[in-house]
Structure 1
């Protein structure tokens, strides 16, 4: 009877009367081993059965925390300590790493837990996550084409280097459905004093009566010194408030400029 093949992976199924079953069975073993969910990033002993404290990690691909795909070139030999439990994993950058305490809390790709005896590996527990949850509400990141964040979502920025949005002044940004534009041109601040405190304004109401002093000619009053001083005080209050407002505006421009929102 002729050999048939499975539907999905096309593994050989020898007929009852076929000879040399070892050929298709060996081919099946190689095909299964080459499958990414089976052989990719697999940690196994370098000898079967183990005769040393060494394991190997197979080549494979993995998903980074930003959604891109990384490739691990494999490690033919990874020496471990005797009589120890070792956690084997890849960093987000694809570096093969071990720990004798636990897997890290930061982004990583778990591979295996390896237990060693005095001179050989006693067990290898596979920690690879082959299948993951998918769907628009399951992504830990936004796709490069954009998308909608969950209601109530937050973005945590670093406290050392920080977060940068836009890498050039010619890149366009828009907020609240406004048409994206490049960063506005540079503001020139000839008067550079600034403050973040807007003081209270002391007004001189227009209803304030000024006495005045009439001359001998009717209808030709002259201002008294007190009236002039009151006007001067009102003007000075207005000047101080105007200067304070300008300083506050300068501080606002400086802050927006520091954040890159203004030129």
Structure 2
């Protein structure tokens, strides 16, 4: 019977009456070993069976924390400590690390946990995570180099510590294509009262001229008490509105200061 092949990986399936089964079986082993999810970044003893305190780490590709893809060239011989548990991983920049104190808490690519005896490798626990999604349209974050969000995107912020943009006043920030600048210098508020409410302004329109002296009284023209009271009322309305505007401005400055947008 003719050799058939599996649907996905196209592995050979010799027929019952075929000879030299070793040929397709060896080809299957090589094909499987070449698959990235199986052979990529695979950690194995340097010899089978193990006769030394060394492991081999295969070449492979991995996803960095910024979404880009890194390439590890592989190493044929990585020395380990005797009678220990060793954690094998790649740093985000692609450096191979063998640590007896555990994995990093920062970004890294876990590969395996190795147990050793006095002179050889006792066991390998494979910890690789394969088939990660990459690409600018699939990452739930912006890369360190910047990028674009989807139209209508929103960011959910924490309610405990929240989000901070910029960690120093000298770092530059700009909005709506404005040239980024450092945080402006501090504002001085000698008048410190503030309010987030601006009352309505009640104008007193001077539609008529002063009436002058009362009818039948002699002497030079002068303002009557009603004229002065009307003027005083208009002035007071203007004073209250100006004070309210200043308090509203103070509140705005205080809020912008609290957010770090003003000094």
Task: Tell me the TM-score normalised to structure 2 length.
Answer: 0.61
Alignment of 1:1-263 (within 5 A): 1-130=1-130, 141-142=140-141, 144=148, 146=150, 153-154=156-157, 157=163, 161=167, 172=176, 182-183=177-178, 197-198=192-193, 218=219, 220-221=221-222, 248=250, 259=261
SS of the equivalent of 1:89 reads strand
- Structure 1 distance, partners of 2:32, 2:246, is 76
Shift of 1:66: 3.1
SS of the equivalent of 1:115 reads strand
Q: How many residues align?
A: 226
For structure 2, the residue ranges without an aligned partner over 5 or more in a row are: 143-147, 196-203, 205-212
How much is the aligned-residue C-alpha RMSD, in angstroms?
Answer: 5.0
- Structure 2 distance, partners of 1:19, 1:217, is 140
Q: 1:219 to 1:35 in 2, by over 3 A?
A: same
**Preserved contact between residue 111 and residue 127 of structure 2 (Cα < 8 Å):** yes
Q: 1:133 to 1:74 in 2, by over 3 A?
A: closer
SS of the equivalent of 1:29 reads helix
SS of the equivalent of 1:104 reads coil
- Structure 2 distance, partners of 1:106, 1:23, is 46
**Preserved contact between residue 56 and residue 78 of structure 1 (Cα < 8 Å):** yes
For structure 1, the residue ranges without an aligned partner over 5 or more in a row are: 173-181, 201-205, 207-213
Task: Tell me the TM-score normalised to structure 1 length.
Answer: 0.61
**Preserved contact between residue 195 and residue 247 of structure 1 (Cα < 8 Å):** no
Q: 1:157 to 1:98 in 2, by over 3 A?
A: farther
Q: 1:115 to 1:145 in 2, by over 3 A?
A: same
- Structure 2 distance, partners of 1:195, 1:5, is 85
Shift of 1:98: 2.8
- Structure 2 distance, partners of 1:217, 1:199, is 51
CA deviation map 1:40-67 (0-9, x unaligned): 1111111111111111211222223333
Shift of 1:114: 0.2
SS of the equivalent of 2:118 reads coil
